Amino acid sequence: MATRFNSVSASILNAIGDTPLIEVDGVFAKCEFMNPSGSIKARIALYMVEKAEAAGLLKPGDTLVEATSGNTGNALSMVAAVKGYRMRVVMPEGLSNERVAISRAYGAEVEFCGNFHVNSALERARELGRQDGFFCPGQFDSEWNVEENREILGPEILAQLPAGRVPDALVMGVGTGGTLIGVGQAFRAVNPAVRLFAMEPSESRTILCGEVDTHAIEGISDGFVPGIFARHGALVNELLSVTDEEAIAAMRGLAQGHGLLCGPSSGAHLVAARRVREQHPELRTVVTLFCDEGEKYLQDHFSAPAPGLVDTAFG
Ligand code: PMP
């Protein structure tokens, strides 16, 4: 029985982390979609803000500004709302409307820059971040992003695995690369042979071959190789790609077969992790992450009746 909420919490920020690890189709999946604000990004949002506060880079009255494909914007907007900062989300057009609406719901201002990919938003956020009264955490380059994943998320997963098991593989898409690299470092400390698999959309294999295109796996493959991956990519053993169609089908399967209402990247992670299990039976303990909740995608992917079912009408 969980006991962490059996007394008064200072704020919703105390509910970040401590998410369940669930075995799905023979792989272990960390349910990061259960974080406040709906994604894994709540962790780095809080971590980077608290590091910046401690370093004197962020002061009362300041405005946080960040380039994002959505989830980090949502998460920082939540953190800013609790801590009393202003928030400017800089994001491309062409992603799910809910991503925009959620940041606005937390009181953030949203500035659009570019289309689908985050490249131009990144330039704009950096430029604003250099101005007085602004602070840009810079998730795509920040070692604080890697550090949170190595020091907090990685150890949390290790502690949840069945007794005596260590990860043999980690499978993860690359948005900033922070999760893959940071959690990968934590895993490698306990199993130097752990294999790290980076997953990309088949429609946009940026790391593998410099291809940049639109795809349905929002939150990864944002249009460029992020600084974190450029610095630490040598840790990665293999690149895998998953098609939009496979990702969406697996995402639906997670909701209908397991009661896990997650986004497309979770579906893609499951497809890639299952493939690793099949192709490398010796890798017994395969870990992946379900990064964001499915409610943001209801309009795009879930609003029609499930395949094979029809809505019933009465009267
Ligand atoms: N899935 C989703 C839904 C995301 O929002 C992100 C982060 N943008 C990722 C996966 C990838 O995480 P990371 O940035 O740590 O590579």
Q: Which two tokens stand for residue 90?
A: 């800089």
Per-residue pLDDT tens over the stretch 89-117: 999 998 888 999 999 999 999 999 999 89
How far, in Å, from the CA of 227 to the mean position of ligand 1? 14
The verdict on whether 41 is a catalytic residue reads yes
Nearest CA to ligand 1 atom 12: 175
Confidence (pLDDT) at 162: 98
Q: Which of 77, 103, 241, 265 is catalytic?
A: 265
pLDDT, residue 116, reads 87
Which of 9, 268, 227 shows the shortest CA–CA distance to 139?
227
Q: Cα separation of 145 and 154, whole Å?
A: 12
Mean pLDDT over all residues of the chain?
95
Backbone angles phi, psi at 205, to 5 degrees: -90, 75
Ligand 1 geometric centre to CA of 220 (Å): 5
**Block residue for tokens 């009255």:** 61
Rounded Cα–Cα distance for residues 35 and 42 (Å):
6
Residue 5 has pLDDT above 90, yes or no: no
Task: Say if the ipTM goes beyond 0.95.
Answer: yes
- Residue 313 reports pLDDT greater than 80: no
Question: Which of 199, 217, 206 has its CA nearest to residue 265?
Answer: 217
How does DSSP assign 233-265, residue by residue? GGG--EEEEE-HHHHHHHHHHHHHHH---B-HH
Amino acid 307: pLDDT: 66
Q: What is the pLDDT of residues 267-289, one digit of tens each?
A: 999 999 999 999 999 999 999 99
User: Would you state the pLDDT for residue 304?
Assistant: 75
User: Six-digit token pair at 59?
Assistant: 């002061």
pTM summary value: 0.96
Please tell me which residue in 41, 77, 103, 296 is annotated as part of the active site. 41
**Contact call for residues 98 and 86 (beta carbons, < 8 A):** no
The reported pLDDT for the residue numbered 303 is 76
User: By the 8 A CB rule, do 106 and 87 touch?
Assistant: yes
Query: Ligand 1: distance of its center to the CA of 310 in Å?
Result: 33
List the beta bridge partners of residue 307: none
> Average pLDDT of 42-63?
98
List pLDDT tens digits, range 149-185. 999 999 999 999 999 999 999 999 999 999 999 999 9
pLDDT at site 69: 87
Which band of pLDDT confidence, cut at 50, 70 and 90, is reported for residue 300? confident
**pLDDT over 90 at 291, yes or no:** yes
Q: How far apart are CA 199 and CA 177, in angstroms?
A: 10
CA atoms within 13 A on the CB side of 127: 8
* 83 included as an active-site residue: no
What pLDDT shows up at residue 2? Answer: 55
- Hey, what amino acid is at 153? L
Which tens digit of pLDDT belongs to each residue from 23-42?
999 999 999 999 999 999 99
Q: What is the pLDDT of residue 198?
A: 98
Cα–Cα distance measured from residue 137 to residue 58, given in angstroms and rounded to the nearest whole number: 10
Token duo for residue 67: 């380039």
Residue list, ligand 1 pocket, CB within 6 Å: 39, 41, 69, 71, 173-180, 219-220, 263, 265, 291-292
Report, as an integer, the average pLDDT of 230-247. Answer: 98
Q: What pLDDT shows up at residue 200? A: 97
Task: Supply the pLDDT for residue 308.
Answer: 67
Torsion of CA 257, 203, 181, 176, to 10 degrees: -100
pLDDT band for 301, please (50, 70, 90 cuts): confident
